[in-house]
Copies of this chain bind each other. A is one copy, B any other.
Amino acid sequence: MENETVGLVVHSVGRTGVLHQLTGVIARHEGDITTVEILDNWPAEARTYFEVVLSAPVQLVIDDLKKLEIVRRVDVVKTFQRIYGKRIIIMGGGAQVGQVAIGAISESDRHNIRGERISVDTIPLVGERELAAAVRATARLPRVKLLVLAGSLMGGDISQAVEEVRKTGLYVISLNMAGSVPDAADLVVSDPIQAGVMAVMAIADTAKFDLVRQQKRRY
Residues of A near any B CB (own CB < 8 A): 9, 15-17, 19-20, 23-24, 26-27, 30-39, 41, 49, 77-78, 80, 83-85, 93-95, 97-98, 101-102, 105-106, 108-110, 112-113, 117-126, 133-134, 136-137, 139-142
Contacts of A137 in B (CB 8 A): 77-78, 80, 83-84
Interchain residue pairs with CB less than 8 A apart (5): A39-B139, A77-B140, A80-B141, A98-B106, A108-B124
User: What separation, in Å, do the CA atoms of A84 and B84 have in the docked complex?
Assistant: 18
Closest residue on chain B to residue A31 by CB atoms: B16
Contact of A98 among B32, B93, B102 (CB under 8 A): B102
Contact A142/B98 with A78-B137, A122-B120 known, Cβ cut-off 8 Å: no
User: What separation, in Å, do the CA atoms of A85 and B85 have in the docked complex?
Assistant: 21
User: What separation, in Å, do the CA atoms of A147 and B30 have in the docked complex?
Assistant: 36
Closest residue on chain B to residue A126 by CB atoms: B113
User: What 10 new A-B contacts, CB under 8 Å, besides A33-B41, A84-B137?
Assistant: A16-B27, A34-B38, A37-B142, A80-B141, A83-B137, A84-B123, A94-B105, A94-B110, A112-B124, A122-B122
Contact A32/B41 with A119-B123, A137-B84 known, Cβ cut-off 8 Å: yes
Contact of A112 among B37, B84, B126 (CB under 8 A): B126
Closest residue on chain B to residue A93 by CB atoms: B109
